[in-house]
Amino acid sequence: MPNHDQRHHRRAQPLERNYRCYTRLGARLINESLKVRKQELVRNVIYDAAIDLFAVKGFDETTVEEVAVAAGVSRRSFFRYFASKDDLLAHNVIHYGDVLRAAVTTCPATFTPLQVVRETILTIAKEASGHSHTRQVIEIAERSASARQAHTSRMREVEDKLAAAFATRLKNASNFEVQARLLASLTLTVMNVAIMSWYRGGCKDLVAAANQVFTNLTRFISDRPSSTQSEDHLNRRIKPNVLVRARRVTTTT
């Protein structure tokens, strides 16, 4: 019959195996996390170098080789992270979509759809205004049709992500898919108008521009004709009918 030490040793063996297994798993997860962070860091370095070059030299005039040299990587490394210059310029659009989706998802459940739209717009405005490349990217797109096309090439993907986030919030509503697509389009449109208003000097602050655009939007949505306008409109509809009836009476007589 095994003594106490032998029984303890047998019980300890599975624990030791599990510990080693968890240790190896943890090390692998840490290594994978470090690898992902390193890849993201290199991707951002290449993107930042490219935007600076595009801003000075122009999107069409800048080569992939020049971007690679400025970023301190090889041409081969560039293509490990980006398929082309177009793909590189669309890099921040993908991030834009992720931030939009996160902003919609984190809004309180008690918010109305329009409150979610407003909160999402303000969240993005705050982040974009603090990003050094926001104005540069707009200038690059304004100066080059191909850059503009490259920058907007992934916007459908952004709209799909945003619509999916709204659909999750509206899943109990009738026609929620249509409503979600409408809210996604509305959010992107208001955000684009706010950005261009800020860029062209309509507002010095992007958050203020976003607030101004949304205020105008809600004013348009809630706009109703005054009682005088309604009466005039009603009279214009009634008078022709009265004249027609009068003619009919006269003819009959």
pLDDT (tens digit per residue) in 33-85: 777 888 889 999 999 999 999 999 999 999 999 999 999 999 999 999 999 99
Q: By the 8 A CB rule, do 203 and 212 touch?
A: yes
If one counts every other C-beta atom within 10 angstroms of the C-beta of residue 204, the result is 8
Helix orientation angle between 4-57 and 91-105, rounded to the nearest 10 degrees: 120
Distance of CA 42 to the CA centre of its chain: 23
Q: Higher confidence at residue 253 or residue 169?
A: 169
Q: By the 8 A CB rule, do 55 and 76 touch?
A: no
Q: What DSSP designation does 110 have?
A: T
In this structure, what are the phi and psi dihedrals at residue 200, rounded to the nearest 5 degrees? Answer: -90, 5
Please give the CATH number for the structural domain made up of 90-222: 1.10.357.10
> What are the boundaries of each domain within the chain?
19-83, 90-222
Q: Which two tokens stand for residue 15?
A: 């624990």
Q: State how far the alpha carbon of 103 is from the alpha carbons of 19, 77, 116, 118, 166, in Å.
A: 39, 33, 8, 10, 10
Single-letter code of the amino acid located at 66 = E
Q: By the 8 A CB rule, do 236 and 222 touch?
A: no
Model confidence at 101: pLDDT above 80? yes
Model confidence at 92: pLDDT above 50? yes
Instruction: Report the pLDDT value the prediction gives residue 225, as an integer from 0 to 100.
Output: 56
Single-letter code of the amino acid located at 130 = G
Instruction: Report the pLDDT value the prediction gives residue 133, as an integer from 0 to 100.
Output: 86
3-class secondary structure, 112? coil
pLDDT mean across residues, the chain: 81
- Name every residue whose Cβ is closer than 8 Å to that of residue 98 and which is 6 or more positions away in sequence: 161
Model confidence at 249: pLDDT above 50? no
Q: By C-alpha distance, which of 234, 115, 99, 70 is closest to 158?
A: 99
In this structure, what are the phi and psi dihedrals at residue 134, rounded to the nearest 5 degrees? Answer: -55, -55
CATH fit for domain 19-83, picks 3.40.190.10, 3.30.870.10, 1.10.10.60, 3.20.20.60: 1.10.10.60
- Sequence length of the chain is 253
How many helices (H) and strands (E) the chain has is answered by 12, 0
Q: By the 8 A CB rule, do 51 and 85 touch?
A: no
**Sorting pLDDT into bands at 50, 70 and 90, what band is 24?**
low
Q: By the 8 A CB rule, do 158 and 184 touch?
A: no
Q: By C-alpha distance, which of 114, 103, 112, 121 is closest to 211?
A: 121
Instruction: Report the pLDDT value the prediction gives residue 164, as an integer from 0 to 100.
Output: 93
